Structure 1
């Protein structure tokens, strides 16, 4: 089975929402999502799964539509900060030297009121369900940087919850055998965005 873990496109910034911050895509993000869908025009996909969060669903939408597929949703594909009242894109946190960026770099998910092990177990369970439900197929899972870190880190036995920074709409390819072997084929593929830079 070919698994494509895809990070969502660029979202807008939300600060101090009344409830959980769940941003839509930025205009640049909409273009990124369209480029992602176009990239797979000659590479058929059998199913498209998504996090329930808007930025992931809005990224998955054009890809699924181009493939003639529905977007399937699993709640456990949500990002670790799903309940936070603010969403600031990571590149802005980095530029502002925000303490939240440092917490992410150091893998301190506890600073976000998240149990790192419980988050990882939920992510791994969700992705394994996707794999089990589509044997021998090619499946895209549109999710988040933390989700990708958790699952790929699980495969590579990396204890740190956040160990690399996936780019917007990056493609991370995993080969999943029916015998349970999981192999990382590629990380952070972003050639589809070249025309936007």
Structure 2
């Protein structure tokens, strides 16, 4: 049975002067993604998708390049919309992110509601799976929060930060085409 891999981009260069969706992978993130991309378990990949955010495209490019594939992009795979606040210092970001998961029906400080982001990412992923041609494995390289929301939807679990990745650069997988969860978040590679 084929596999869907959902991969969150690894570490990025945080620059408060650059829009978050244009942040690039940090050298440590590039290295971790390269190590992940070389795993024999990924040799069945036939398609790689990414959100339109720079960090996801860069990570997807590393993965796709390793296996001689192109990258398809789709805006609906993007992270939850946080443009209302823009960049937040790490401690403040974590507090708002906690509220985002704890109050999924509420727009916390103008952020996209978790329930809306969950519907968007689930619909996008199902559309990709429906058109996935030729069988084989499929990778979606996107973001941690929407990856967690998608995982919760497929696993039949309530939205909860307890299901979130502990840090950037993780993967979970499900079987194709039935989308039964194989495993939850696991690091793509050890951090240096």
TM-score (norm 2): 0.83
1:182 match = 179
Cα distance in 2 for residues equivalent to 1:149 and 1:42? 21
Superposed counterparts of 1:56-135, under 5 Å:
56-81=56-81, 83=83, 84-86=85-87, 92-93=90-91, 98-104=94-100, 106-107=102-103, 110-111=107-108, 112-134=110-132
Superposition RMSD on alpha carbons, in Å?
2.6
Contiguous gaps of at least 5 residues in structure 1: none
Quickly say closer, same or farther: Cα 1:134–1:87, change in 2 above 3 A: farther
How many Å apart are 1:43 and its aligned residue? Answer: 2.2
Q: Residues 38-76 of structure 1, C-alpha deviation per residue, up to 9 Å, x if partnerless?
A: 224762310000011111111111110011111100110
Cα distance in 2 for residues equivalent to 1:97 and 1:146? 13
Contact 1:76 1:126 in 2 (8 A): yes
Contiguous gaps of at least 5 residues in structure 2: none
Q: Does 1:193 align with 2:192?
A: no
Contact 1:146 1:161 in 2 (8 A): no
- Equivalent pairs, count: 186
Cα distance in 2 for residues equivalent to 1:189 and 1:144? 14
1:50 match = 50
How many Å apart are 1:103 and its aligned residue? Answer: 2.3
Contact 2:21 2:54 in 1 (8 A): no
Quickly say closer, same or farther: Cα 1:170–1:81, change in 2 above 3 A: same
**Farther off after superposition, 138-147 or 149-158:** 149-158
1:32 match = 32
